[in-house]
Structure 1
Amino acid sequence: MDKKVIGIIGGGQLGRMLTEPAIKLGFDVVVLDPTPNCPAAQVGAQQIEGSWKDAAKIAELIERSDFVTIEIEHIDVGALEQFKDKPINPSPDTIKLIQDKYNQKVFLKDNQLRTADFSEITSEDKALEVFEKFGGSMILKSKTDAYDGRGNEVVKSKEDLEKALNKFSGFGLYAERLVDFQCELAVMVAKDFRGNIKSFPVVETVHRRNICEEVYAPARISEEIEVQATSLAERLVAKLDGAGIFGVELFLDRNGEVLINEIAPRVHNSGHYTMDGCETSQFEQHIRAISGMKLADTTLTTPTAMVNILGEREGPVELQGVNEAKQIPGVSVYLYGKTPTKIDRKMGHINATAGTIEEAMNNAKEARRLISI
């Protein structure tokens, strides 16, 4: 019998980490990615070379696939909408909703899901009005094509506001009141074809330059906050159409309230710890969810810390220190096969398991110090 084919739009590191469990589960994998010999192709995926926004290439991928998913949401959704008979997950409607971060916020508000105050910005006068309404402290965001800090500007003065508006040079913007948070949290929530939901543990994330750099699993929070965060994330995902993993990013504010920051309709950086810390990884669970298989156990088996390996220079990859890092107890190093290295480019990640989350994070950070890429 021919193997079923999983089609993935995007063949970067997430596509790579989806390909590996898909093959183990007995699927063939085909990815669409513009980079020759992309990370997913290096671990057994067939590759269609082309843009994620090329409707003809997307159609080719879908025609070759039994199940279709994404590793990146910045794609041509219109091309997906032509294929009503194919299981495309998450649904094109959900991808379209999440592509526009302002529409995300409206969706959250309409569904009584807690999030920061926000307002559309349609002119300089409106920007100034909102800045004053939010107490002189807000974040200005591009509605679309914003990720890993791109398209976000913190505004704490009128000079900041002027610079931010000049940088964006046009509108298609909205503003959010800056949340005074204790910490940032995230929950990976899996949903299958039948609407069954299974969440991974709540984790604590640390961002620098708006990029996730560290993840603590479990989060260092009370059981009450964990229940609040999980419930909020699951209520959100239940209202979204389609199957798969959804990465829900959250704030825990100074009043002990959990608010939704934003949603990713896919596997997520803050879930990489699951590869070593849970009974099932987020990547295997996503493949199960989008292919009609039963969702697997998401239990955390041991405290696990994740540290990203970000590029620190521009140029060819010159890898050093990986073998030394792997000698640290409980440390696993995952490299993505990307080249060249660039400042803040995600080149890999480190997971470390230990008896306590503090020990795990110390070991992960020590491993990171040893690695140069």
Structure 2
Amino acid sequence: MPVIYPGQTIGIIGNDQRAYMLALKAKEMGYRVAAIVTPQIQNTAFTSLIDCQIDGELNDYQKLSQLGEVSQVLTYTNELLDEALLEQLAQQYYLPQGSNVLSVTQDRYLEKVFLNDLNINIPPFATIVDVDDIYQAIESIGYPCILKPIQKGYGKQYQRFIQQPSDLEKDAASLKLGTYILESWIPDAQELSVMVVKCKTGQIVTLPVIENEFDDHRLKMSLVPARINQDVATEINRLAHLIGDKLDYIGVFGVEFFLTPDMNIYVKRIIPTPHATGDVLSHTLNFSQYEYHLKVICQLAVGPARLNSAGMMLGVQERQRSLIQTQMKIKPDWYFNLHTVTADQQIGLVTATGQTIQPLIANFEAADLY
């Protein structure tokens, strides 16, 4: 495929914050943006960026084909799209990310097999089909552990945290979604991630390691550089390169990790698109993850990553709106990005940068934001 230059059209398949951020960067770089607009994102900040709007659903092949017809390159930000539809789409239109990666990342078992085949450390797990499997797996995995549907995409309400034998009595009857994975809980783990850039030529660039904090499955905070030693950073970069070499994918993807207090590293999961944890890099790195992704899929030159400053990012919820508005009036050096991606939920980011992490944490704490 030829190089895709500014002025040409990028078709974005997604209706989430990542789609909005990618469209924002594409417009900033001079590209036109086309997208399928679902009912949930009508009249939002995302639709205001779109040059060519196709109304419909993301898993409607007719709409996907219309998007392909008006775009020079297609990209997706939704990791739960129908793999078969994207495979069909890739046969007719330029979709650098491909669809094969989704068969690995959408299925927890296949993802673990992929990582196991690379001799990568993952939390102990077992496949669960019936109640007896849970009791047998507990004998080897032990407590605590987590029961999850094998297919990703189901909400947190379908996951069960099993802390003691009495929990089995109420959870064993909840196997309503077919096959599950029972996974060992990694206690007191530091959560880390790294965004990986993979080019069509095979070139791989790893971005700086990010430290994350989650609250009830929602990203609460990301900071960079992660508070880890150089040996851990080196090993995470090695694992990221190893995964990137074997993953059938072009573009930016993420890998999440657990780091235990005794310095054991476990891979948590692979994210086959740019990811929210990488947003802290937007104001700290020479190029954001979105610009890297656009450069790769448009076949522009990609260089090494350079961290210009430390950074801390918080996800903003609707209940924090008044607090954030106050900070907007008194924090001239903070970066605020508030936007409505879906009609019923306000999503935003606030990022602070500096020479070191600790003063940034202290400033957020003083503002009652963290």
- Decide: shared fold, TM above 0.5: yes
Give the letter for the 2:10 counterpart: I
Match of 1:56 among 48, 59, 62: 62
1:215 CA displacement: 0.9
With CA pairs under 8 Å and 6+ residues apart, which has the higher RCO, 1 or 2? 2
Following superposition of structure 1 onto structure 2, how do residues 327-366 of structure 1 map, counting pairs within 5 Å? 327-338=330-341, 341=344, 347-366=347-366
Partner AA of 2:52 in structure 1? Q
Distance 1:369 1:105, change over 3 A: same
Question: Kindly tell me: are residues 81 and 279 of structure 1, through their superposed partners in 2, closer, same or farther at Cα, counting changes over 3 Å?
Answer: same
Partner of 2:219: 212
The 8 Å contact of residues 149 and 211 in structure 1, kept in 2 or not, is answered as no
Q: Relative to structure 1, is the Cα distance of residues 354 and 347 closer, same or farther in structure 2, using a 3 angstrom cutoff? A: same
Q: Which residue of 2 aligns with 1:283?
A: 290
| TM-score, with structure 2 as normaliser | 0.90
Deviation at 1:220, TM superposition (A): 0.6
Task: Out of 358-367 and 268-277, give the one that drifted further.
Answer: 358-367
CA-CA distance at 1:3 after TM superposition: 3.1
- Structure 2 residue identity aligned to 1:324: T
Q: How does 1:74-223 map to 2 (within 5 A)?
A: 74-82=80-88, 83-146=90-153, 149=156, 151-223=158-230
Would you tell me which structure has more helix in proportion to its own residues? 2
Match of 1:37 in 2: 43
Moved more, 256-265 or 82-91: 82-91
Unaligned runs of 5+ in 2: none
Q: Residues 146 and 339 (structure 1 numbering): CA distance in 2 closer, same or farther, change over 3 Å?
A: closer
Q: What's 1:226 paired with?
A: 233
Kindly, what percent of the aligned residue pairs are identical?
27
Give the distance between the partners of 1:153 and 1:62, measured in 2 at CA: 40
* 1:251-282 Cα distance to aligned partner (Å, 9 max, x none): 11233121110011011111111111111101
1:65 and 1:168, CA in 2 relative to 1: closer, same or farther beyond 3 A?
Answer: farther
CA pair 38-73 structure 1, distance change in 2 beyond 3 A: farther
**CA shift for structure 1 position 168:** 4.9
1:65 maps to 71
Q: Distance in 2 between matches of 1:17 and 1:322?
A: 20
Structure 2 letter corresponding to 1:357: I
Instruction: Find the counterpart in structure 1 of residue 16 from structure 2.
Output: 12
**Is the 8 Å Cα contact of residues 98 and 249 (structure 2) preserved in structure 1?**
yes
What letter matches 1:107 in structure 2? F
Q: What SS is found at the alignment partner of 2:168?
A: helix
Classify the secondary structure of the residue corresponding to 2:48.
Answer: helix
- The farther-off stretch of 69-78 and 140-149 is 140-149
Code of the residue aligned with 1:333 in structure 2: it is F
Q: Distance in 1 between matches of 2:28 and 2:336?
A: 20
1:315 corresponds to? none
| Gaps in structure 1 of 5+ consecutive residues | 313-317
Give the partner amino acid of 1:320: S
Quickly say closer, same or farther: Cα 1:149–1:188, change in 2 above 3 A. Answer: farther
Q: What amino acid maps onto 2:64 in structure 1?
A: I
> 8 Å contact 2:77–2:273 — kept in the other structure?
yes
